[in-house]
Structures are given as structure tokens and as C-alpha cells.
Structure 1
Amino acid sequence: MPKVGMEKIRKAQLIDATLEAIEKYGFHGTTVSVISKKANVSTGIISHYFGDKAGLIDATMRYLLEQLKQELLNHLPDNHNHHARLHAIIDANFASVQRSKKAAVTWLVFWTQSMHSPELARLQKVNAKRLVSNLKYSLKHLIKPEKVEWSAQLIAAQIDGYWLRNALSQTDGNDSDHAVETCKTLIDNVIRDYGLAQKA
């Protein structure tokens, strides 16, 4: 009989091996055989837990999405300061785990493959909606109602744009620091220009 907790350990091993394989070989070079060798398990284990490569890729993306969610929870302030909460969303999206080379390459693969995979496309839509929803939740406490949707979409686009630029440039953390600062400045400017205390 398998040891208690072995499934969780095996799945984590396989997801980590998938991240490493995608970083080194890209999506098409990341085969079930390559992943199994990196994880030091048989290909049958992958089939048992995930069905096939698509299932494992799906699980890997869910893992990254969960990591992003946890980063946000870790960065959120204890109080109900919505301005600080918006800044925390920026910090979470540019946290080290999200901008590591393994994660960056996998995210890029994810976005590309989502155009061809209905399930990955669904996960991408969930991720995009979650970001906008989180932004809107705090913005509605700080700015005029008619500017909430527009501002959330603008900030989300800037987050995605800077993240993509940084991932493609493959430079050091200074670019990410600049991105964080710029995104937070945009938030501050939106609150300044469209704050509830401002006149139309």
C-alpha cells in the first residue's frame, strides 16, 4: 500500500519537475518522459495522478495561480486600508515566486497555450477576472463609482504589461522594482484624480 501523504508528495514533485522542464525545454520539449525522468518516477505515475501531459500542465498552472493567491493573502494589510490593499496587490503580482525564471517561462507558455486549450483559456479568464475583481473591491471605496471599472482595467493592464516586459527581458530584480513603483504611482494618481472627495 502507498504511504499516507505520498500522493501529495508525488504531485508536488511532478509539478516542480514540470516547471523545471518547461524552463529548460519549452512546452513542446516537455514530454511526459522528460518530466518523469526529472521527477525520478515512472511515466505511469504521471498517468495515474494527472492522466496525461495536458492534465499535468493544468495542475501546474493551478499551482501557480494558488501561489499568486497566497502571495496576495500574505501581502494584504490586517486593517481595512483599501489604499494599502491596492499596493499589496501590486506587491503580490511582482513577488519573487511569480517572477522567478521557472514561473515566468511557465506563465508565458500558459498564456500562449491558452489560445489552443479551452481549459487553460478558462483558467486564464479566471485569473484575469480575479485581478480586476480584487482591484475593483478596493477602488470602489476610494474613487467615484463611474471610474471604478475603467481604473481597474487600466491598472490590471499595466500590471500585466510590466510583468510581460520583465519576463521577456530576463533581467535582474531592478526592473521589477521599477514596475512595482510605477504601478503604485498609477494607483496613487487614480485616487488623487478620481477620489470620492474630488469634484467632477
Structure 2
Amino acid sequence: MPKVGIEVIRRKSLIEATVDAIHERGFCDVTVAQIAKRAGVSPALAHHYFGSKDQLLAATMGHLLKDLSDGVRQRLAKAETPRERISAIIDGNFAPAQFRPSVIAAWLAFYAQARTTRSSQRILRIYSSRLRSNLTFNLRSFMSREQALSVAEGTASIIDGAWIRQALSDGPSDRDTAIAMVEDYVETQIRQHAGENPENGTAGSRKIQ
């Protein structure tokens, strides 16, 4: 097997081990050596690939963010109306592969590290900006730009809040309830602002199933 192939496999193993280790021990208590052992590589090799534990977390978050973005894009490709695209964005942010205990724990650690780590701050800005931009673009079909920006911010906040609440919960992840909560907020806002701005209409809107 070519060296490039081996490196890709080892990096992926370290990223997966990071997610599992954070879920089991928490970010503060886990060490690079423990992550490396779980991944089946030496600590020296883990440091060679990623440098510090903070850099390993940033790489893990970058990987998870790419998976999340890919999932959203796949759902958007099947959506035909602005309202369907909003639902696709919401559903993608609670994808089963993402909204599970180990990944939720990793994201919570990422948010905490983003306060002090520049690489994590950059990844978080990319995620937040992309989410707000996608929501705003599609919400513009139902309301003014200023209103769409405000509703997009509110929607993003509810999505983030659902993740944090789940991270602090002892129960199993419940994506259906989380999605319904966000959808209810969006639907309420669309109806309210469509009434304030009759020229926008309500074409493409749908009730929550």
C-alpha cells in the first residue's frame, strides 16, 4: 500500500479515536497518548501528524464539519423549493451520523476550545457563517432581508441549543424532537413575516408533518 494511503488511514483512525476518547473521558482528561493507543499508532506518530492535542481536536472538527456539510449538500440537491431547502438544512444539521452521543460530546469540547484556540475559532466561524448564509438565502423568499437575517440567527441559535442540551442530557439522542422544535420556530416566523409582507407570499411553505 502506498505511503499516502497509509497516512490517510492513520489520520482517519486518530480522528475517530479522538471522538470516542472525548466521549469516554472528556477533552481535558484525555491525552494524545491515550488517543494514539486507541487508534493503534504510536504517540510520536500522532504528534507528527497533528502536533498538539488542540490541533488534533481542530482536525477532528474539520472532518466532522466536512461530513455535516456534505450531508446538507446532498439533502439540498433533492429539495425543490426554498421551504424544502430550509428543511434540508435543518435535517442535515441533525443527521444520524452527527447527532449521536460521541460526536455531540466532541462538538461540545470544540465549542469550549474555540474560546481560546485560533484554529478552532476559524472552523467555528466557517460553520456558523455557512449555516446563517444558507438559511438567510432561502428565508428571503418569505420575508425581507433584515427579517431573514434575524430569523436565520434565531434558527441557528436553536440548532446550537439543541446540540448543547443533548450534550448535557443523560438520555439517548432524539433527532426527531430536535428537528420538530426548529421547524416549529421557522414555520411560525415564516407565517408571521409573510403576513407582514404580503408581497412575499407563502409559496413553497409547508406545514410540519
**Map 1:22-61 → 2, pairs under 5 A:** 22-61=22-61
Q: Of Structure 1 and Structure 2, which has the larger fraction of its residues in helix?
A: 1
Work out the CA distance in 2 between the residues paired with 1:113 and 1:85. Answer: 31
Secondary structure of the residue that 2:108 maps to in structure 1?
helix
Work out the CA distance in 2 between the residues paired with 1:81 and 1:2. Answer: 45
Matched, 1:181 2:180: yes
Cα deviations by residue, 1:17-54 (Å, 9 ceiling, x for unpaired) = 11111111111222111011101111121122112222
Secondary structure of the residue that 1:28 maps to in structure 2?
coil
1:16 deviation in Å? Answer: 0.7
Q: Which residue of 2 aligns with 1:64?
A: 64
Q: Is residue 77–residue 88 contact of structure 1 (8 Å, CA) maintained in 2? A: no
**Map 1:2-151 → 2, pairs under 5 A:** 3-151=3-151
The one-letter code of the counterpart of 1:185 is D
The one-letter code of the counterpart of 1:172 is P
Q: Is residue 14–residue 46 contact of structure 2 (8 Å, CA) maintained in 1? A: yes
1:4 deviation in Å? Answer: 4.5
Cα distance change on mapping 1:80 and 1:46 into 2, 3 Å = same
The one-letter code of the counterpart of 1:191 is I
Q: Which residue of 2 aligns with 1:165?
A: 165
Q: Is residue 77–residue 84 contact of structure 1 (8 Å, CA) maintained in 2? A: no
| Structure 1 portions without partners, runs of 5+ | none
Fraction of identical pairs, as percent: 36
1:191 deviation in Å? Answer: 1.7
| Structure 2 portions without partners, runs of 5+ | 201-209
Q: Name the Cα RMSD after superposition.
A: 2.0
Q: Is residue 155–residue 183 contact of structure 1 (8 Å, CA) maintained in 2? A: yes
Which runs of structure 1 show a deviation greater than 6 angstroms over 4 or more consecutive aligned residues? none
Q: Which residue of 2 aligns with 1:195?
A: 194
Q: TM-score, normalised by structure 2?
A: 0.87
Work out the CA distance in 2 between the residues paired with 1:122 and 1:5. Answer: 28
Deviates more, 1:10-19 or 1:42-51: 42-51
Q: Is residue 96–residue 175 contact of structure 2 (8 Å, CA) maintained in 1? A: no
Number of aligned residues: 199
Q: TM-score, normalised by structure 1?
A: 0.91
